[in-house]
Chains A and B, each alone.
Chain A
Amino acid sequence: MKNQIYLDHNATVPLLKEVKKSLIDCMDFGPLNASSIHYYGRKGKDIIEVARANISQLINANKNNIIFTSSATEAINLLFSNFETIIVSSIEHLAVLYSSKSDHIIPVNQDGIVDLNFLELYLKKIFKNNKKILVSVMWVNNETGVIQPIKDIVNIAKKFQCLTHCDAAQALGKININLDEIELDFLTLSGHKIGAPTGVGALVYNNKTNITPQILGGGQEKGMRAGTENILGIRGFGEAARLMGMRKETNCSQVKFLRDFIQKKIKKISPETIIFGEKTKRVANTLLMALPKIPGDLALMKLDLESFSVSSGSACSSGKISQSHVVSAMGYDELASNSVRISFPPNDFILNSENLITTQELDKLAQSWSNL
């Protein structure tokens, strides 16, 4: 195995070793179907409820209002199937853009921040004719790392009696999420973005709304999502959430140091590089950039062949790289095929639990970038 430098944590975070241990314990325990009445069934149920409690603690949500799904994408699809009118921002993840099938798109400015004035005027225009509107804006953009003004968005939506959903897949583990402070109606999460295994997500909801399930069957997850629970995934998600919650504040200063180091280096030796969202509030681990003359897929291939695992635009399941709708939405149409994303571990805890990334490696990366 070559010594690959992994810098694509916004895609997925390596399984944390504590999480791995919790999974092995779980596998060693025995047959765990949480629906069974007997001893093993009760154990299974306990594991799920502990996970729910861990996640609820991490984000200050009511633990009775969290259900597990196979992914954040599934949680979003489940939620959206309950709404006819959904208002989304132009930079949402494809899970939101495609499953909402929405024509109500709120633009962003050149820094990649949702246009609040536009949102307000738009809601004013349409809210009278629509009973049940859902406003869905992500907390942190997966490509740029730009943090959205969720509190303001919720306040505007409330003025027009709209419900709100936030895709927080990229926020969890990177910034503090406190649902006590922000009155969101729905939040969706993904386990593998904080070091749990892939294949588990969650929908957090408020008390007021009834959700009609998409998957029918044995009535698991309070009747909202049937199918025997992915107990390993849920256990892993819960354990990862517990680890994230052990620290009061999400500390990212070391991560920020590394990101700022490479950003500075690249700007110095390759000054024609454009850095997206540089002048606004971004999470500490993400750097989205582009060279005007180098297609993103070429950059990605060359960096990969030089042992750097980074990402470009939004790659689809075939491996084909499409234009970045996020970069386009920010008004950089001509760079939409050129963007390359470097993403460090979400926080210092995860950074320190992995093989450390050294500044020498980042020097080499900056050099490779300037040689593209």
Chain B
Amino acid sequence: MININQVINEMDLEGNPSNHRVVVAMSGGVDSSVTAALLVEAGYNVVGLTMQLYDYGKALKKKGACCAGSDINDARLVSSRLGIPHYVLNYESVFQDQVINDFVDSYLRGETPIPCVRCNQTVKFTDMFSRAKKLGASALATGHYIRRKNQSGNLSLHTGKDLSKDQSYFLFATTKKQLNFVRFPLGFLTKEETRSIAKRHELNVADKPDSQDICFVPEGKYADVVRKLRPNSVDRGDIVDVNGNVIGKHNGIIDFTIGQRKGIGVGGRKGVDDSNSILYVIALDTKKNNVIVGPKEFLSCNKIKISECNWIIDLPQKSKFKVLVKLRNSSEPVIGTIKANFDFSFVFLYFDEPQYGVSTGQAAVFYNIKKRSHVLGGGWITEAPNKLADNNIINA
């Protein structure tokens, strides 16, 4: 059983909870539902907001089915159970412009985008923020597993207590200013604790499975989304080896990501039975519309460029320093050395050990080398040259 005072501490709002209106961003999942439940329990004046991001009817190809996604309905049921007002915000056009189109363009550039970060950056943490403020809220709370700390006015962002659910990778773009207003009351809980709180409150979402896919991509088939939205941008092309020899055909480079091993459509070299026989996607040549495959060694990458950096700390005195860096949400952080430009808006990062399968379009998130839980900031990987770059097949 959790101590409700801990929730009040995490909320970091002065005075009696009942004097504060708190807006909860409710997705209809168990995490944001429990966030709302805990804040109601703690005595805050809670208002639930859910964003309608795309037309669910259209996404499911049901004509005339006016929206009404089941997640929105879940959010509504939870709000009703908790006795709080709940509203739906129509962000369809913003989401289409700023998230879906960006996602599609990124794929067509041969990158591997993470739309969830863009969504946090553009829709959730800008539009939702301003709406919460206009509704007179003292704070906006979300159900992310991440912690915000206030050490005598100095705000910082930290990984959630439940590292297996930590969402700091997706929230690196949170600005210091936003940290003034946003709260993450689940940061000190584990997923199991969250579920048991949901059960205690008899929320209908207590056993709802975690969402796995990108919300607007049915069944994880992202290439289908790209084909549907830009039917003329996806062409058949060649699969070539690292020496430029054509060894197969593909139906569109959007079906491939850097580092991919399975489902390439060309087998390993016959009769050779060593690790070099396994083929990986090494690069996507958008100019020639080629997929370049080769053995794993060609994926090795020593240095990346990270742009549009956001720092959640005071900028360091030195422009060269060591950090832990996460290159994917699911992977462990690795050690690297940052060399920043004058205003730290972009950096080069030199890995201590070469990394394999780094893709542009992904985020690189920095953590304190001495304290792994402390999120320093992050940015977007815009250059990730691997060994293939030396062979000069691309851009020839």
Contacts and interface: CB of A to CB of B under 8 A. Distances in A.
A321 B136 CA distance: 21
Interface of B: 47, 52, 64, 66-69, 72-73, 76, 85-90, 131, 134-136
B66 A319 contact: no
Interface string A315-341: 011111110000000000000000000
Interface in A109-149: none
A321 B135 contact: no
Contact of A318 (B64, B88, B134, B136): B88
A56 B135 CA distance: 48
Given A297-B90, A302-B135, A320 B85 contact: no
11 contacts: A98-B64, A298-B135, A300-B87, A302-B134, A305-B135, A305-B136, A318-B52, A318-B68, A318-B72, A320-B89, A322-B90
Contact of B69 (A300, A302, A318): A318
A298 B52 CA distance: 15
Q: Is the interface of B mostly helix, strand, loop or mixed?
A: mixed
A301 interface: yes
Contacts of B52: 318, 320
A304 B21 CA distance: 14
Given A298-B134, A305-B47, A319 B85 contact: no
A297 B69 contact: no
Interface string A277-317: 00000000000000000000110111011000000000011
B87 A301 contact: yes
Contact of A316 (B67, B73, B87): B67
Contacts of B88: 318-321
Contact of A319 (B47, B64, B72, B136): B72
Contacts of B72: 318-320
Interface residues of A, number: 15
Given A305-B47, A320-B52, A320-B88, A298 B67 contact: no
Given A297-B87, A302-B136, 8 more contacts: A297-B89, A301-B87, A301-B135, A317-B66, A318-B72, A318-B88, A319-B87, A320-B88
B134 A316 contact: no
A320 B131 CA distance: 15
A319 B47 CA distance: 15
5 smallest beta-carbon distances between A and B, as pairs: A319-B88, A318-B68, A318-B67, A316-B66, A320-B52
Nearest to A317: B68
A102 to B, nearest CB: 15
Contacts, number: 49
Contacts of B90: 297, 320-322
A100 to B, nearest CB: 13
A304 to B, nearest CB: 6
Interface in A235-275: none
Contacts of A316: 66-68
A305 B85 contact: yes
Contacts of B134: 298, 302
Given A297-B89, A297-B90, A305-B85, A319 B135 contact: no
Nearest to B131: A298
B350 to A, nearest CB: 48
Nearest to A322: B90
Interface string A157-201: 000000000000000000000000000000000000000000000
**Best-surrounded residue of B47, B68, B88, B90 (most CB of chain A within 10 A):** B90
Contacts of A297: 87, 89-90
Contacts of A321: 88, 90
B45 to A, nearest CB: 9
A181 to B, nearest CB: 37
Nearest to A304: B85
B24 to A, nearest CB: 14
A9 B345 CA distance: 55
From B69, B86, B89, residue with most partner A Cβ within 10 Å: B89
Nearest to A294: B134
Contacts of B131: 298
Contacts of A304: 85, 87
A47 to B, nearest CB: 34
Most chain B C-beta atoms within 10 Å of own C-beta, residue among A302, A305, A319: A319
Contacts of B68: 316-318
A316 B88 CA distance: 10
A314 to B, nearest CB: 10
B139 to A, nearest CB: 16
Contacts of A317: 66-68
A173 to B, nearest CB: 27
Contacts of B86: 319
A321 B86 CA distance: 13
Contacts of A318: 52, 66-69, 72-73, 88
A318 to B, nearest CB: 4
Nearest to A302: B135
Contacts of A322: 90
A318 B87 CA distance: 10
B131 to A, nearest CB: 7
Nearest to B76: A319
B107 to A, nearest CB: 28
Contacts of B135: 298, 301-302, 305
A358 B129 CA distance: 36
B137 to A, nearest CB: 10
Nearest to B92: A320
Nearest to B55: A320
Nearest to A321: B90
Contacts of B69: 318
A98 B66 CA distance: 11
A186 B136 CA distance: 49
